[in-house]
Chain A
Amino acid sequence: MTANSVFQIIIYFAVLVLLAKPLGIYMARVYEGQSTIPGRVLAPLERLVYKLYGINPEEEMGWKQYALSVVAFSIVGVLAVYLIQRIQGALFFNPQKFPAATPDLSFNTAVSFVTNTNWQNYGGENTLSYLTQMAALTVQNFASAATGMAVLVALIRGFKRHSSTTIGNFWADLSRGVVYILMPLSVIFALALVPMGVVQSMGKYKTVKLTQEFTYDNPKLDAQGNPVKDTQGNPVTEKAQMKEQILPMGPVASQEAIKMLGTNGGGFFNVNSAHPFENPTPLSNLLETLAILLIPAALCLTFGEMVNDRRQGWALLTAMLVVLVPLTFLCAHLEQGGNPHFASAGIGQAASALQSGGNMEGKETRFGITGSAIWATWTTAASNGSVNSMHDSFTPLGGLIPMWLIQLGEVIFGGVGSGLYGMIIFAIITVFVAGLMVGRTPEYLGKKIEMYEMKMAAFVVLIVNALIKIGTAIAVSTKVGLAGISNPGPHGFSEVLYAFSSFADNNGSAFAGLNGNTPFYNIIGGIIMFIGRFWVIIPVLAIAGSLAKKKHVPAGLGTLPTHTPLFVIFLIGVIIIVGALTFMPALALGPVADYLMH
């Protein structure tokens, strides 16, 4: 690793923590309904929104009503996103005249965006109209993020309240997240990205004249548009001359901003933030990377603020950082090591003042190794899932790190809201395990943790684990599943394992060599993403409802303090044992075997 690489990583983390603090406090004030400066400007918009919905924001909901509202809102969202893709050909804002997306792809994309996964089986620039990008995808980028934050806030209320049967109003929590947090941040961020070179246009794609024309082998198509094959079954090609280049356009900056801030990650273009029109410069890369973790980090501090004990928020944030910081350094180090096969081929992979060196397959020159490794670890720690480099082409162990971060259960930062409620579930399991050791009734934040909470917490942890392994097993034992694999050997298995980890944990990044745009992966992936999201949300809200009913117990001699370094270490231990050791056998078959094959 170079000195610059170490320095860059340290600064990225330092800036993240500095920005997270004020935002965390601001978000706490928003959800507590307290006055803020942006709040005073935007309050009329909030009131207008409620009037249009026809709801009373003061009307409180029990946990079942809250959960029902979340699920209803999400199902309506899936239907809307599906429908818009299916009829985009007949609608406006479609200058490239894209026809309807296929039914299975539309279903996958709809579930993917509503569940905040943003798995990308579509190639944006050749499949989706501007209207679909805006009114379907951008909307769900806001809505799914605000939903995650709402569920988190409901869980926090469970700890705060006592002898209460209600945990808040979902419609109000949803709208506050959009109006006061996600929307203002996105407006600022989008307008900052445009002058750096991120496009923002409703116009047609642009045609430019090439400086050097070239010829290429174009696959020959028959009258039906199917590729023609020769007698050996190889595709027939004909020489074609290329004189022009077509440059894609679109309302990119506005989607890029919320895609990064809302841990969404579904790209406007096929290659996501590796595309120069999504992420053109080192500065845009710095800001977009920070945006991945900004809200998830800040929410830890929001949590501390809302439970009136800031140390609790810092403890969770510290646990997340203790896991992520070393993995970021390790990933950069492994990628800087380069491809061992290249050593004898006369290729210079050493870093110098004139080149980043390292494993550059699937990486962009402007980001080099460090910018790519930071993004890869952050986007998988958070459930963002956007990419600025191709994870499939990482070294076997370098690529293991992003995959493992997903398999930790998306609680090391995780999705906006969803990451922290997942982390709080792990904190509950931790106090329970600690309680068993010393024979005391476990408590967290003044609430007794009992059988019901533990059952729900176990549900959350087990289901996601099971989904990944069952899904992977089905895919590698069926022809349709195996057909999607592009790399030979254990690396092909890694592609499938990564995909199902990404579906079940709602991350959305991929070892993109896997051809997921087939009915098999579109449908099974959609189902797993849906279960992975709601089988977690419903038990979390059940815990919120159960905790809200309980009385506060004052901390006593037997209470395990949950803000100390001891607790942080204990929590990390539980996450690693529960969330990761279960994947060791599968990881041994994929990335580890791949590494040993060198």
Chain B
Amino acid sequence: MQTLRNAVMSLVVLTILTGIIYPLVITGIAQAVFPARANGSIIVKNGTPVGSEFIGQQFGSPKYFWGRPSATTPYPYNGQSSSGSNMGTNNPALMENVQARIAALHAADPGNTEKIPVDLVTASASGLDPEISPAAAEYQAARVARARGIDISQVNSLIQADTKGRLLGIFGEPRVNVLKLNLALDELNK
């Protein structure tokens, strides 16, 4: 009985300490010192929030860069239901999906005979990946330039400006933020 009493009391005390005080103190400090980051790193355009720097969006028009395929349901890039495809490499459904994505890329850009960078036809882990590889951006540059009637060098310089390298040249992978790149393209056409 004494043991049970101790168990209940210690859980109550630890709940207050680690379950209420700890997260609320961290929230208080985070909101005071890093409000933009703590609230989702929202990008605002003309006073309207148009997305988060860290959460990708669905793009399918030839004049925008496309991001990673997203396996969230019932629609891609569903912020309320992050998910990968969880398909094994031998799953025939994976190959069907990939073939459909290849067909869509070719339909939007018929003359392009380059190899398609793998990240552009495979679903990300989160379904919300905000980024693509620089190779995947380069693959799409000519299509985007043509669809917008602008010079490809303009598109390439925007890609360059939006490319992040590895941390200290070592950690992570080089990558391009798709939403930021597309917003920059829209600015260009104004």
CB of A396 within 8 A of CB of B88, answer yes
Question: Nearest-CB distance from B90 to chain A (Å)?
Answer: 5
The CA of A308 and the CA of B175, in the complex, are separated in Å by 49
Per the 8 Å Cβ criterion, residues 94-112 of A in contact with B are none
The CA of A4 and the CA of B174, in the complex, are separated in Å by 12
Segment at the interface with B among A267-275, A309-317, A437-445: A267-275
CB of A190 within 8 A of CB of B26, answer yes
Describe A's contact surface by its main secondary structure. mixed
The CA of A135 and the CA of B132, in the complex, are separated in Å by 37
The CA of A53 and the CA of B14, in the complex, are separated in Å by 10
Q: Inside 8 A of B25's CB, which chain A residues have their CB?
A: 187
Question: Nearest-CB distance from B37 to chain A (Å)?
Answer: 5
CB of A361 within 8 A of CB of B23, answer no
The CA of A209 and the CA of B50, in the complex, are separated in Å by 5
Q: Inside 8 A of A487's CB, which chain B residues have their CB?
A: 86-88, 91
Question: Nearest-CB distance from A315 to chain B (Å)?
Answer: 31
The CA of A488 and the CA of B86, in the complex, are separated in Å by 12
Q: From known contacts A8-B171, A125-B82, A214-B58, infer whether A206 and B118 are also in contact, taking CB-CB under 8 Å.
A: no
Q: Inside 8 A of B76's CB, which chain A residues have their CB?
A: 214, 216
Q: Inside 8 A of B98's CB, which chain A residues have their CB?
A: 342, 345, 347
CB of A396 within 8 A of CB of B6, answer no
CB of B84 within 8 A of CB of A512, answer yes
The CA of A345 and the CA of B166, in the complex, are separated in Å by 29
CB of B125 within 8 A of CB of A69, answer no
Instruction: Pull 22 A–B residue pairs with CB atoms less than 8 Å apart, ordered by A.
Output: A8-B171, A76-B4, A134-B20, A138-B18, A183-B18, A200-B27, A200-B38, A202-B27, A211-B59, A251-B26, A254-B22, A274-B124, A276-B128, A282-B172, A342-B118, A346-B102, A347-B118, A348-B114, A355-B136, A362-B122, A365-B133, A371-B172
Q: From known contacts A251-B27, A356-B133, infer whether A135 and B8 are also in contact, taking CB-CB under 8 Å.
A: no
The CA of A270 and the CA of B81, in the complex, are separated in Å by 7
Per the 8 Å Cβ criterion, residues 35-77 of A in contact with B are 49, 52-55, 65, 68-69, 72-73, 75-77
Segment at the interface with B among A387-395, A419-427, A546-554: A387-395
Question: Nearest-CB distance from B141 to chain A (Å)?
Answer: 12
Per the 8 Å Cβ criterion, residues 20-51 of B in contact with A are 20, 22-27, 29-31, 33-34, 37-42, 48-51
The CA of A72 and the CA of B14, in the complex, are separated in Å by 15
CB of A365 within 8 A of CB of B40, answer no
Which listed residue, A245, A255, A368, touches B51 by the CB 8 Å rule? A245
Per the 8 Å Cβ criterion, residues 199-232 of A in contact with B are 199-203, 205-212, 214, 216-219
Q: Inside 8 A of B125's CB, which chain A residues have their CB?
A: 271, 274, 362-364, 372, 387-390
CB of B27 within 8 A of CB of A197, answer no
The CA of A354 and the CA of B156, in the complex, are separated in Å by 14
Question: Nearest-CB distance from A59 to chain B (Å)?
Answer: 11
- Is A123's CB within 8 Å of the partner chain B? yes
The CA of A190 and the CA of B79, in the complex, are separated in Å by 23
The CA of A255 and the CA of B19, in the complex, are separated in Å by 9
Question: Nearest-CB distance from A501 to chain B (Å)?
Answer: 17
Question: Nearest-CB distance from A224 to chain B (Å)?
Answer: 18
Contact with B along A496-513 (1 / 0, CB 8 A): 000000000000000111
Contact with B along A131-153 (1 / 0, CB 8 A): 00011101101110000000000
The CA of A354 and the CA of B54, in the complex, are separated in Å by 20
- Is A196's CB within 8 Å of the partner chain B? yes
Task: Among B8, B84, B95, B182, find the residue whose CB has the most chain A CB atoms closer than 10 A.
Answer: B84
Task: Among B23, B114, B179, find the residue whose CB has the most chain A CB atoms closer than 10 A.
Answer: B23
- Is B55's CB within 8 Å of the partner chain A? yes
- Is A191's CB within 8 Å of the partner chain B? yes
- Is A352's CB within 8 Å of the partner chain B? yes
CB of A69 within 8 A of CB of B7, answer yes
The CA of A370 and the CA of B90, in the complex, are separated in Å by 22
- Is A158's CB within 8 Å of the partner chain B? no
